[in-house]
A and B are shown apart, each in its own frame.
Chain A
Amino acid sequence: MSLTMATLDSVQLLSEAAFGCVHLAAILAKDEKTAGQFREQFCKQYKSLAPFSKTDTVAVPTTGLRTVESLKPKYHCLSCAEVCLGSKRAEHTAATGHVFYLESRNRFVFCEKCVDFIYDHTLDRLRGPSGKFEAIDGRSIWAEDSASEIYVKNNAHKNPCAIRGARGVWNMGQTCYQASILQALLHDPSLTAYFLGGGHDVHTCSIKDCLACATAEVFMEFNSAERNEAVSAAMLLHHGWQKSKDMAGYRQQDAHEYFQFLVNELHSSTPGHVESYEKPCECFFHQMFYGELRSSVMCHKCGQTTNTHDPMADLSLDVQLQHKKRKLGRSTSSTTGTLLGCLDSFTAAEDLHADAAYHCEKCGNTPQRASKRLQIRKLPVMLCMQLKRYEHTSNSSEKMNGHIDFPLSLNMLPYTVRKDNLPVDMSNYMYDLSTVIVHQGTMDSGHYYAYTRIDNDKWALMDDNKVTVAGVADVLRQDAYLLFYSARSIRAEKPKK
């Protein structure tokens, strides 16, 4: 038998109860068959209650409206096919003796004997990283090896408990662009796991002025919980200057440009990355930051569509368009622009007017009227969106101030290339706001600061080294420049063409 090492994960399991409640324990600990059946039923129900997208092909009854009893959450019995409202649950249990229900909105398990929601970590594990059910036999993790976990837990070097991630980044003099972008990255669990888990080997890396090494250094300092003051990113700054003439020097930079620069450098300093456009790159940063855009051009004459695919590290959204429309009173919807509106116009089909612009091959390579449409083909784990607030005309550059509404969570499905016929589990496309970067000041000079989500639900304002409490309402009120959204669930790459 191989020696199973006490992993960080299994050490964490030490603080989990074996089962969500005594009644669930009675079923899951009874025998393998009963437990297996229950798990299977749970997985089935869990999957079927996923928030599926409405498909275009679903027949809407044309004769009269469909009657919906109630919009309230429904409770799906985990022992039979019964679906009932909360008020009818007790009746069903009294009549059948079935105890467990899956609630339809959040997919939590309800125990009628406890008369409460129960949270069982083994069932939670079955939910797995969405889409795939992780078949872990709850017991084997515990069993005989829990002694070694206890040993690790009691004797490992422990950092004192602290508010995680509530640390600033020093502004070394006009480097707030760097500090704010770092704040957007430093709180991401995948990046943290990558850098702390030795994803980039600092000791054997032979790249000169490697930005990944410097970034790893910042992550390590940031996560050493011994101290809670701001961290320094001097090495990262220095290496960045060495790598790029554009970024070098004691002056203000555009945070968005810095983000692109940093991501690009991180990507190219990763062993095994692929630079060419032909082969898909499998490297960590590619999965993390790069999505893919599909640009399709349709000839108006013959209807021929040509697609091209381009990698994207972020979405640059035109807020001017909305702004101008509002000024002209053409926009009917609301007084403020919205992020969703920006995304809508980003992915909307647009006519290519200039006659000579598009030559359709099918129409004998003659110039044709055509329309072009951008859609997202692949979504990154971390999605950066820039609200283009700077307007450059031939003789002047101007910053557009003003609020653009953005949501705390975002469904990206409507902006992707999707097969319309299949309902899709929308939870795979949900993104949660993680960081908001605000630019204060004018076109030429100003200051960046970041609002960052800490600990799931709390927000902090990261103004260089100063970290202060922020409320969700404060965050949503900001005139954002960059928005960072993180995928709620990281799904396995679907092997598709």
Chain B
Amino acid sequence: MADSNNSGGRRPTYPAGTIAKVATDILNETFQNIIHDLVAKVHREEKVARMRSAVVLARQKAEEDAIMPEEAPSKTSTDTKREIILDTKKLAGMRMETDAAVFNRGKVFLKGNPMKTVKEHVCPDCRLPRLMYPTTGARSCPPPDPDVEYCTNVPMIDLPGHDVHGKLFAVTPNPKKKKGDRDSTIPEIPTTKCPICPRYFVMTRLAQHLERCVCGGRGGRDGGRNKTPTEGGASNGNSPSSSAHKRSYADDDEESPSPTKKKKLNGPKKGSTAKPGPSKLKQSFTVEDNDDDIKSENAD
């Protein structure tokens, strides 16, 4: 590697012993070293990956032969959930050969140079071949064989508006749209439960709510259930915080159905911005309500 001597034809030559000669020599060799190191690094990564691929394939082949027959009616039992029982005695004494490696008594030995004998990378975990290029976006390549299942650890996707997994960026859910109307291909920012109270919020608005919730937790410890009607969009000031706390009591009865309730309640509320419903408690689990809540806060 990197030992091509004096190959550059256009390289100017200087008489030995001159500063110019020393300087060009140093410069040239420094460049060569930089290239040498870069190539060596890539070489190592590539060769180690291919060595592992050779080993994984040899091991896989050996293990397939050693699967206890009664436990494995079909050879494809690897993808079922059934426990695989290997005939360990058979495996320990087995010898098995592939193009690149020899499996012998539990160890795998390389045959020849994996840079020549191995053509593709195999994932050591799932034992499926790995894609070398992303399937879409910049520098993408279609999979070499469309019928083959590849390892799901794929190269990162570089596509504007998408993340490295090829997903579109999440958008803030639009409360005015019904579930059915929403474009299912565009992911929405999920909701999350407040660490203190049982309400759910769009992720990106949690901090804003939390601030009020934290203050409420300190101030309105005895703000009871009775305050319920003052909560919601109608009243502002200190009450939202205390009411937020109040909900943690209500939590006990209402806890489990909250995620499903959210969906159910969304329906009838759609299209109407009129918020004062009789049951503030239930409303509080909806994203929409939270939206209104914040709006009214801001208008405050």
- Residue numbers of A with Cβ under 8 A of B are 12, 14-22, 25, 70-73, 85-87, 103, 105-106, 108, 114, 116-117, 119, 142-144, 146-147, 150-151, 154-155, 158, 160-164, 166, 168, 170-175, 228-230, 232, 234-235, 237-238, 241-242, 248-250, 454, 457-458, 460, 465-469
Neighbouring A residues of B152 by C-beta, 8 Å: 160-162
The contact of A467 among B56, B88, B163, B187, by CB within 8 Å, is B163
Question: Is the CB of B170 closer than 8 A to any CB of chain A?
Answer: yes
Q: Are B33 and A234 in contact, CB atoms less than 8 angstroms apart?
A: no
Question: Is the CB of B221 closer than 8 A to any CB of chain A?
Answer: no
Neighbouring B residues of A150 by C-beta, 8 Å: 63, 86, 88, 91
- Tell me, rounded to whole Å, the shortest Cβ–Cβ distance linking A103 to chain B: 8
- Tell me, rounded to whole Å, the shortest Cβ–Cβ distance linking A373 to chain B: 33
Instruction: Give Cα distance in the complex from A181 to B36, angstroms.
Output: 36
Instruction: Give Cα distance in the complex from A466 to B204, angstroms.
Output: 13
The contact of A142 among B88, B106, B203, by CB within 8 Å, is B106
Q: Are A154 and B84 in contact, CB atoms less than 8 angstroms apart?
A: yes
Interface centre among B111, B164, B189 (most CB of A within 10 A): B164
- Tell me, rounded to whole Å, the shortest Cβ–Cβ distance linking B64 to chain A: 11
Q: Are B112 and A22 in contact, CB atoms less than 8 angstroms apart?
A: yes
Please judge, given known A-B contacts A19-B109, A241-B214, whether A232 and B192 are in contact too, CB under 8 Å: yes
Q: Are B214 and A248 in contact, CB atoms less than 8 angstroms apart?
A: yes
Neighbouring B residues of A172 by C-beta, 8 Å: 203-207, 210
Please judge, given known A-B contacts A21-B113, A72-B33, whether A173 and B63 are in contact too, CB under 8 Å: no
Q: Are B210 and A237 in contact, CB atoms less than 8 angstroms apart?
A: yes
The 4 A-B residue pairs with the shortest CB-CB distance, nearest first, are A173-B207, A15-B124, A161-B153, A147-B88
The contact of A86 among B2, B84, B113, by CB within 8 Å, is B2
The contact of A72 among B29, B44, B52, by CB within 8 Å, is B29
Neighbouring A residues of B92 by C-beta, 8 Å: 144, 147
Question: Is the CB of B186 closer than 8 A to any CB of chain A?
Answer: no
Report B47-73 residues with CB < 8 Å from chain A CB. Answer: 47-48, 51-52, 54-56, 59, 63
Q: Are B47 and A117 in contact, CB atoms less than 8 angstroms apart?
A: yes
Can you list 11 A-B pairs, Cβ within 8 angstroms, ordered by A? A20-B51, A25-B109, A105-B40, A119-B51, A155-B83, A161-B123, A161-B152, A230-B203, A250-B207, A467-B163, A467-B165
Neighbouring A residues of B112 by C-beta, 8 Å: 22
Instruction: Give Cα distance in the complex from A87 to B110, angstroms.
Output: 27
Contacts A166-B156, A170-B192, A172-B206 supplied; 17 other A-B pairs, CB < 8 Å: A15-B56, A17-B109, A72-B29, A117-B44, A146-B107, A147-B92, A151-B86, A158-B126, A163-B153, A170-B203, A173-B205, A229-B187, A234-B195, A465-B169, A465-B203, A469-B156, A469-B158
Question: Is the CB of B208 closer than 8 A to any CB of chain A?
Answer: yes
- Tell me, rounded to whole Å, the shortest Cβ–Cβ distance linking B166 to chain A: 10
Interface centre among A22, A158, A468 (most CB of B within 10 A): A468
**Interchain Cβ contacts within 8 Å, total number:** 203
Neighbouring B residues of A114 by C-beta, 8 Å: 113
Q: What does DSSP make chain A's interface, helix, strand, loop or mixed? A: loop
Q: Are B110 and A21 in contact, CB atoms less than 8 angstroms apart?
A: yes
Neighbouring B residues of A241 by C-beta, 8 Å: 210, 214
Instruction: Give Cα distance in the complex from A116 to B2, angstroms.
Output: 12
Neighbouring A residues of B153 by C-beta, 8 Å: 161-164
The contact of B30 among A71, A158, A228, A238, by CB within 8 Å, is A71
The contact of B126 among A12, A14, A106, A160, by CB within 8 Å, is A160
Neighbouring B residues of A21 by C-beta, 8 Å: 110, 113
- Tell me, rounded to whole Å, the shortest Cβ–Cβ distance linking A243 to chain B: 12
Q: Are A469 and B157 in contact, CB atoms less than 8 angstroms apart?
A: yes
Interface size of B by CB at 8 A reads 78
Instruction: Give Cα distance in the complex from A238 to B201, angstroms.
Output: 15
Neighbouring B residues of A166 by C-beta, 8 Å: 156, 163-165
- Residue numbers of B with Cβ under 8 A of A are 1-3, 5, 26, 29-30, 32-33, 36-37, 40-41, 43-45, 47-48, 51-52, 54-56, 59, 63, 78, 83-84, 86, 88, 91-92, 101, 106-113, 115, 123-126, 128, 138, 151-154, 156-158, 162-165, 167, 169-170, 187, 189-190, 192, 194-196, 203-208, 210-211, 214
Q: Are B192 and A234 in contact, CB atoms less than 8 angstroms apart?
A: yes
Instruction: Give Cα distance in the complex from A105 to B187, angstroms.
Output: 49
Neighbouring A residues of B110 by C-beta, 8 Å: 17-22, 25
Closest B residue, CB atoms, query A168: B163
Q: Are A468 and B126 in contact, CB atoms less than 8 angstroms apart?
A: no
Q: Are A163 and B164 in contact, CB atoms less than 8 angstroms apart?
A: yes
Q: What does DSSP make chain B's interface, helix, strand, loop or mixed? A: mixed
Neighbouring A residues of B189 by C-beta, 8 Å: 170, 465
Instruction: Give Cα distance in the complex from A163 to B92, angstroms.
Output: 34
The contact of B203 among A119, A147, A232, A249, by CB within 8 Å, is A232
Closest A residue, CB atoms, query B106: A146
Q: Are A161 and B125 in contact, CB atoms less than 8 angstroms apart?
A: yes
Closest B residue, CB atoms, query A460: B164
Neighbouring B residues of A86 by C-beta, 8 Å: 1-3
Closest A residue, CB atoms, query B196: A238
Neighbouring B residues of A235 by C-beta, 8 Å: 195
Closest B residue, CB atoms, query A110: B1
- Tell me, rounded to whole Å, the shortest Cβ–Cβ distance linking A149 to chain B: 10
- Tell me, rounded to whole Å, the shortest Cβ–Cβ distance linking B276 to chain A: 26
- Tell me, rounded to whole Å, the shortest Cβ–Cβ distance linking A245 to chain B: 11
Neighbouring B residues of A147 by C-beta, 8 Å: 86, 88, 91-92, 106
Please judge, given known A-B contacts A87-B3, A114-B113, A468-B158, whether A108 and B29 are in contact too, CB under 8 Å: no
Instruction: Give Cα distance in the complex from A21 to B102, angstroms.
Output: 12
Neighbouring B residues of A170 by C-beta, 8 Å: 189, 192, 203-204, 206
Instruction: Give Cα distance in the complex from A15 to B27, angstroms.
Output: 42
Q: Are B55 and A15 in contact, CB atoms less than 8 angstroms apart?
A: yes
Neighbouring A residues of B1 by C-beta, 8 Å: 86, 117
Q: Are B156 and A238 in contact, CB atoms less than 8 angstroms apart?
A: no
Closest A residue, CB atoms, query B29: A71
Closest B residue, CB atoms, query A117: B43
Q: Are A14 and B3 in contact, CB atoms less than 8 angstroms apart?
A: no
Instruction: Give Cα distance in the complex from A16 to B108, angstroms.
Output: 8
Q: Are B170 and A250 in contact, CB atoms less than 8 angstroms apart?
A: no
Neighbouring A residues of B170 by C-beta, 8 Å: 229-230, 465
Interface centre among B36, B48, B107, B109 (most CB of A within 10 A): B107
- Tell me, rounded to whole Å, the shortest Cβ–Cβ distance linking A189 to chain B: 17
- Tell me, rounded to whole Å, the shortest Cβ–Cβ distance linking B299 to chain A: 17
Please judge, given known A-B contacts A160-B152, A173-B206, whether A22 and B56 are in contact too, CB under 8 Å: no
Instruction: Give Cα distance in the complex from A232 to B203, angstroms.
Output: 8
Instruction: Give Cα distance in the complex from A108 to B78, angstroms.
Output: 38
Closest A residue, CB atoms, query B54: A17
Instruction: Give Cα distance in the complex from A151 to B2, angstroms.
Output: 44
Please judge, given known A-B contacts A14-B59, A19-B110, A105-B36, whether A175 and B51 are in contact too, CB under 8 Å: no
The contact of A106 among B30, B40, B83, B211, by CB within 8 Å, is B40
